[in-house]
Amino acid sequence: MPLLRVRNLRTHFHTRMGVMKAVDGVDLEVGEGKTLGIVGESGSGKSVIALSIMGLIESPGHVVEDSRILFDGRDLARLPEPEMQAIRGNAISMIFQEPMTSLNPVYTAGNQIIEAIRLHRKIGAKEARECAIELLRLVGIPSPEQRFSAYPHQLSGGMRQRVMIAMALACEPRLLIADEPTTALDVTIQAQILELLRELRQRLGMSMILITHDLGVVAEICDDVAVMYAGRVVERGPVSAIFRNPQHPYTEALLRSIPLLGMTQAMPLNVIPGKVPSPLHWPRGCRFAARCNYAVERCRCEEPALAESGEGWAACWLREQRRRSRSEGALHA
């Protein structure tokens, strides 16, 4: 059994304009010791999935009743808040997008790590301090004894992100969720943070969900990938298979949009025309149909389900046409 199984996850927000269906029927799996990448455009629902798993969706939002978030056999969507608090930050931890807004500016980095440790582990103040310093050393912060007493504004962006990682690892979680962990960092620091996450996953044997819009990051450190579009997963499977042979036109378009070495100003980037539809009014049929080069009338009328395609799963009527063509070819042969 996978460590985490998400089934039919729907997270909605009630607004003055109507119900915003930010996540609208998502299925995901994360295996023991594996890393799942979740990619997609801004507004596709990636971060809302993470907050739903962590039980951090607040009013006017809610996780719809028939959603299932099964972690080690327990349905997190059904747990009362006291039981969820025992899991959050302990068995499941999360690294948020922007460390400057996630860290408390009036507490030192060390005290914030200590708080995370003592919340879930019954140890004394001295032992917790030693543990916090060791965590700072583990995430590669130089002179951890000195940085322990530093406030967030006294640390660089890369160091703040490392403090966030140390806090997330304080209780040795089985699942770590990293939501855009390299946002606003320069390229060199991004590479260091990603390498650190890969090393820590291997050393601690934990599973990880990496939320990003960068397919290059996914190719580098993920085992599996789920491609999000308009609140749904349109394709998921092993990274190598999806990069080699994408089964959904949206995945194909994303891969074509990656800048390549040697490109000049005279060589414009490939772009996906149009825009993501509003979560207040999802269109009928396939939600990518209006931007898809392969769309036919059926795509605009019927919504395809996520089904086996190639080595993974895809939600596209095109896969059925391809399968039919292969079958007819085999018959003629």
What angle do helix axes 157-169 and 187-204 make, rounded to 10 degrees? 10
332/209: higher pLDDT: 209
Please tell me the predicted confidence (pLDDT) of residue 324. Answer: 58
The predicted model gives 292-297 an average pLDDT of 91
Q: What are phi and psi of 326, to 5 degrees?
A: -65, -40
Pairing type for strands 224-229 and 312-314 reads unpaired
pLDDT band at 43 (very low <50, low <70, confident <90, very high): confident
SS3 42: coil
Is residue 225 within 8 A of residue 237, CB to CB? The reply is yes
CA distances from 308 to 78, 113, 144, 218, 314 (A): 29, 43, 49, 21, 6
Please tell me the predicted confidence (pLDDT) of residue 120. Answer: 86
CA distances from 233 to 57, 180, 185 (A): 20, 18, 28
Q: Is the pLDDT of residue 266 over 90?
A: no
Cα dihedral 225/252/46/229 (nearest 10): -130
What angle do helix axes 157-169 and 109-120 make, rounded to 10 degrees? 10
pLDDT tens digit sequence for 149-179: 999 999 988 899 899 999 999 888 999 999 9
Q: What angle do CA 1, 210, 5 make, to 5 degrees?
A: 25
Residue 212 buriedness (CB in 10 A; 0-12 / 13-18 / 19+): buried
Which segment of 33-42, 143-152, 172-181, 253-262 scores lowest on mean pLDDT? 253-262
Of 13, 4, 10, 97, whose CA–CA distance to 52 is shortest? 10
Of 187, 131, 141, whose CA–CA distance to 164 is shortest? 141
Please tell me the predicted confidence (pLDDT) of residue 79. Answer: 93
Please tell me the predicted confidence (pLDDT) of residue 264. Answer: 62
Query: Cβ–Cβ contacts within 10 Å for residue 236, how many?
Result: 26
Please tell me the predicted confidence (pLDDT) of residue 144. Answer: 94
75 forms bridges with which residues in the sheet? 70
The runs of H, that is alpha helices, within the chain are 46-54, 81-87, 99-102, 109-120, 125-138, 144-147, 157-169, 187-204, 215-221, 239-244, 249-256, 297-301, 317-332
**How far is C-alpha 225 from the chain's CA centre?**
9
pLDDT tens digit sequence for 77-100: 999 999 999 999 899 999 987 777
CA distances from 150 to 109, 116, 154, 157, 316 (A): 6, 17, 6, 13, 52
Rounded Cα gap, residues 228 and 236, in angstroms: 9
331/193: higher pLDDT: 193
Cα dihedral 291/296/298/301 (nearest 10): 40
Q: What are phi and psi of 231, to 5 degrees?
A: 85, 0
| Residue-range domains of the chain with CATH | 4-91+174-261 (3.40.50.300), 100-172 (no CATH)
Rounded Cα gap, residues 106 and 226, in angstroms: 38
